Amino acid sequence: MNVTLSSNSGQAPVLRRAWATILHTVAASFCGLLLAAGIGRAETVTNLEAVDSMGVSTWNGSFPIVLTGVLLTDPSEMLDSTPDYLDWDNGANMYNLGGQWQVFVQVVTNNDRGGVECWMAQDYGNLPWEPHDGSDSYSDEAWSNEVYRVSHDPTTGYAFHKGDLVTITANGSLFYGGMQNINEEHSTDPAYNFTISLVATNVDLPAPKVISLSSVISTNLSATGHYDIFDPTRQTGGEFYQGMCVRINGLTLVTTNGWSTNSDWDSRYCTATDGEGRQFPLIHPLYDIGPAPTNQFGATGVFLQESGSGTDGTFGYELFVQQVSPSDAAILSIAVQNSSAVVSWPGSLSNYQLQSCDSLSNPSWTAITNTPAVVSGRNTIVLQPVAAQKFFRLQRVQ
């Protein structure tokens, strides 16, 4: 399917709504065709990622399942898939999984929210509970074939890129670290394969949800002994953004040693703070996103969870960083136009609320509920004069 949209100045909001409608229609229609053909049962990320009070998966569906969404990552930017077969060697290579492959897909339909990870590895036989005779590991040649298979559309051979609309047909999944992941259930048996198929190319990435650390990290320890904000209903906190494209503004690096393109995932961690007592882990991709910021910055990427536990999914939120840029300062601009006050602030600061009061001697700040329009990249509100004087401020909200 090829879709072309053209626009004139001032039509961007209309086109975004039109494009969103196209995405939702294409995704729904494609799932309907799959169901009619009996290929798999359409599933939602909302159902797949449902958890209990300990953050452990409550999903009990049956396979195969089909999910539709937009690729948030290229197949080559998260994990190093270079073939690297290593046998068990009497436990010397325990947990050494050789080449690994991973992408994230975010759903686009109106009745669903979130994203899902698709993952596989070469040397499952190096897991302690798997057979160690090589039967559950891929040879270098077989692994190369597997990587090609999931990185290309099976019909056209098209190489997937982030921004493509795809469907995933899964025959297996496992829960670990706070997320139910699409995978091969640590088996080389083709019966557990997942397949990714192209729906439409270059539909563009979802607009990042702009959040602050205060929406996902607390300054107080929770009952589980972590600072992560966990909500089993998935309506707030880290669960609300899991697997999605987000932007976190107002960050400053605490550690920079992980700001590198080292192939080892654990060597690409660094820590950021919002300067208000909260800290948060960032993960560098396999490509160069520039030098480590020395000043305040915003980071855009995929919101992940890796608690490192199969029985506790209440913590471990982190950001896989794909882009950084200087943070926009939360500064208001006020102008007078036709006897009206035109108040504006950077459009990237969607997690801020405009408030006003009549006096600074004993201020009583009140939220201005007018929905801002985005004009030249700035949130803009036009207010009619209702008092002799008015004072305005931006208040950050979760």
pLDDT in tens, 251-308: 999 999 999 888 899 999 999 999 999 999 999 999 999 999 998 899 999 999 999 9
Give the rounded percent of residues in the chain with a pLDDT score beyond 70.
88
% the chain with pLDDT above 90: 68
Q: Is 12 a residue whose pLDDT tops 70? A: no
> What is the rounded average pLDDT of the residues 82-108?
97
Give the residue-averaged pLDDT of 340-352.
80
The pLDDT value given to residue 229: 96
pLDDT value of position 384: 84
* Model pLDDT for residues 119-178, shown as the tens digit of each residue: 999 999 999 999 999 999 999 999 999 999 999 999 999 999 999 999 999 999 999 999
What whole-number distance in Å separates Cα of residue 46 and Cα of residue 59? Answer: 10
Question: Would you list the domain boundaries of the chain?
Answer: 12-200, 209-326, 333-396
The reported pLDDT for the residue numbered 361 is 87
pLDDT, position 352: 79
| Mean confidence (pLDDT) of the chain | 88
The burial of 73, by beta-carbon neighbours within 10 Å (0-12 exposed, 13-18 middle, 19 or more buried), is given as buried
Would you call 213 helix, strand, or coil by DSSP? helix
- Percent helix / strand / coil, the chain, rounded to 5: 15, 30, 50
Q: In the predicted model, is pLDDT for residue 26 greater than 70? A: no
Interatomic CA distance for residues 274 and 206, integer angstroms: 25
Within the chain, how many helices (H) and strands (E) appear? Answer: 4, 21
CATH architecture of 209-326: Beta Barrel (2.40)
